[in-house]
Structure 1
Amino acid sequence: MTTTSVPSWRQRVLALAEKRLPALTRLRRAEALPIRLHRRRIYVLPTRFGIAFAILLAIMLLGSLNYANNPALLLTCILAGGAWMSLFAGFRTLSGLALVDAGAAPCHAGGNLRLTCTFDPGGRARPSLRWHSHDVEQAFALPAGAPGAVTIDIPASARGWFRPGRIKLWSDQPLGLFVVWSWVHPDVTFLVYPALEPGVPAWPRTGGEDGSRLQVGSDGEFAGLRDYRVGDRPRLIAWKASARQDKLLSRESERRSGDVVTFDYAALAPLDAEARIRRLAAWVVEADAAALAYTLVLPEERLGPSEGTAHRHACLRALALLPHAPV
């Protein structure tokens, strides 16, 4: 797969075409999956090379007719026929292609949203396809008969709900004489977590009423088994139980803790709303990496005390959807 930039002249031509053709404007609306491409939504324009090739054929035609040169006339007709058939070959590359699913892994603002789209190519292979979205372009190909996934990184600049918008699928193969394209606009949204504050200070630690609360950790009395998590130390893996269950299990222990880890939005009053959210998000990620139980206190919501991946996602989701609360 390769990443390239689209020439500005092509963008201008396509923008003019979309402005003049109502059918292209209609495809700006979001569509429910699956989205299948058909002849009414596939468009064709000659490339610069195609225009130059057409001019060359016209000169060859005039010269062969002027000099009554039958071999030259035959060669011109063969080249013109090959160029004409390449248009249909390029059209068939997109015709019948279907976008059946779209998903993305969680990401933080300021990073890249890794969007994965699954296409159904139908009964024939789809070579030399290109994907263009958010000024990012990627080449890919799909084998015949089996759905294929294409992944592209899209910049996610702000927290909250993110819509990938319209995606252009296009090809200029097999001869590069014509560009064939279509738009898909999947009706999907993905949540972008808040950016993490760099060099975040240590979180506040306070003792209190929950001093007898049990915390899950690597030391202490045996509390049970749980699914293996990436990063678990080998000595925590319960090998015999894992063999019986046919999946990796880790031993879990519990210990008493006299401290309560509480992340309070209101306690960060000197900071503005976005700075508070970034700091709280960084603390949540650090506490989860340390396998600590913690509580997140927001203006209208309280999450925890709890720990684990599900709690981390719940806290980051709440922070991502938090409006600009008053100081």
Structure 2
Amino acid sequence: MTTTTSAVGSNQWYVSPTGSSTNAGTLGSPWSLSYAASGAGGRILPGDRVWVRGGTYSSQTGFNITVSGTATNKVTFKQYTGETVILDGSIAEFTSIGNTAWEPYGTLSSSHNVYRSVKTFPVIGFTFYGGFIQIGGEWYSLAPHTSDAYIVSDTHVWDSPHPRYLGPGLSQNKTVSSPDYGHLFMRLDNSTTQAQLGRSVTQISDPDPRNHELFVCNSSYFGLTVTGSHLVIEDFAQINHFSGCFSMGTAGQTDVTIRDCGGRPMFFGARCGSVDGLTLDSCNFYAHMPSHKWWVAYADIKGGELPADH
């Protein structure tokens, strides 16, 4: 395949999970998604289309679309026909059943089933760690807790002013002087409160995180951070395990269409900011963010069903 460029393009470019910035951007020699999203060194022109091949694009920090089109010649990023694109922000070592990434940690609590991550993870300001657990083929959110005091609390009342256990979830130690600094803590004990914000809390029979599929992510990053203008983004229906699926709102940003996209974010479907001319068309984001709280309650995340307070 031969690809030509012009001042205004109508070129067809390709990316894949195994693509590279040193490739030609063709079907047989695709780029990486990050390289194409940045404009591919100026090769992506207004009017061009970028076909995103199926597969899993893993990045805990997400992807940034900085390239722009024009009002009459937009740049399009679209899932390749008949394939499925997954953007995944989860920490890989926690995802498989039987993993060795957690260890029992009675030091923090001898009366609760608390596990500590074997590794440490970056401590970033107001960042929380949360995520999802799969039980019986369905997805449930893991509540992010602000501190160790919350994860081991015996108070389960949602609106309590004291540290309270919100149900199965995580915390991170952020005390620099602590030997636990940077470690994550997981507790899957059932909450005595059978409902959070009016939604039932599903019970977990096995509190050992090593025996579950866990998709853990932090609250700092979005699947797609879009800063370019005059863009069309289509068919990214599985943007999973990030703080949010989309982030926009750069000063002066205009004319962005997001169509048939969605995913399973920790907090936001799309944080839109002040984009002049934003269109969200047929998008489905399966999150649970209470309007009066920052927290994600422990709630079921089911395809095709939006929480009442979404």
TM-score of Structure 1 vs Structure 2, range by shorter chain: under 0.3
TM-score (norm 1): 0.24
TM-score (norm 2): 0.24
Larger radius of gyration: 1
More helix by share: 1
